Amino acid sequence: MRLRVLGGILLVMATILVAPGAALAACGAPPSLITSVEEAHTVFVGRTVEVTNRGRTAEMEVLQIWKGRDLPQYVTVAGGSADATEVDSDDRIFENGRTYLVFPHNRTSPFTDDRCTATRLYDTPTGKAIPANLEAAVGADQARVPVAAPANDGAIDGSQMGPWIVGMGLLLLGLLLVWGYTRLTRGDGARASARRQERFAVEKAAVAAAAAAEEERPTPITHADSPFRKRGIARIPFVGGLSGRFRRSGLDNARKMSSQGQKRRN
H-helix segments, 30-88: 33-39
Choice among 8-22, 95-109, 190-204, 240-254 with the minimum mean pLDDT: 8-22
C-alpha distances out from residue 239 to 14, 235, 244, Å: 156, 8, 9
Q: For the residues of 141-196, what is the DSSP string, one character each? A: GGPBPPPSS-TTSS---HHHHHHHHHHHHHHHHHHHHHHHHHHHHHHHHHHHHHHH
Task: For residue 6, name the pLDDT band (cuts at 50, 70, 90).
Answer: very low
H-helix segments, the chain: 2-27, 33-39, 135-138, 158-216, 227-230, 237-265
Q: What is the pLDDT of residues 168-212, one digit of tens each?
A: 888 888 888 888 778 777 767 777 788 888 888 888 888 888 877
CA angle 219, 222, 226 (to 5 degrees): 105
With beta carbons less than 8 A apart as the criterion, state whether 86 and 28 touch. no
DSSP type of residue 84: T
Q: How many CB atoms lie within 10 A of CB 41?
A: 12
CA 243, chain centre distance (Å): 100
Beta strands per DSSP E along 26-90 = 43-52, 57-67, 74-78
Rounded percentage of the chain residues whose pLDDT exceeds 90: 25
With beta carbons less than 8 A apart as the criterion, state whether 46 and 68 touch. no
**Looking at residues 100-119, what average pLDDT do you find?**
94
Q: Is the pLDDT of residue 246 over 90?
A: no
Q: Is the pTM of this model over 0.75?
A: no
pLDDT at 142: 80
* Pairwise pLDDT comparison (213 vs 110), residue with the higher score: 110
Q: What is the pLDDT of residues 16-32, one digit of tens each?
A: 444 444 444 467 777 88
With beta carbons less than 8 A apart as the criterion, state whether 56 and 83 touch. no
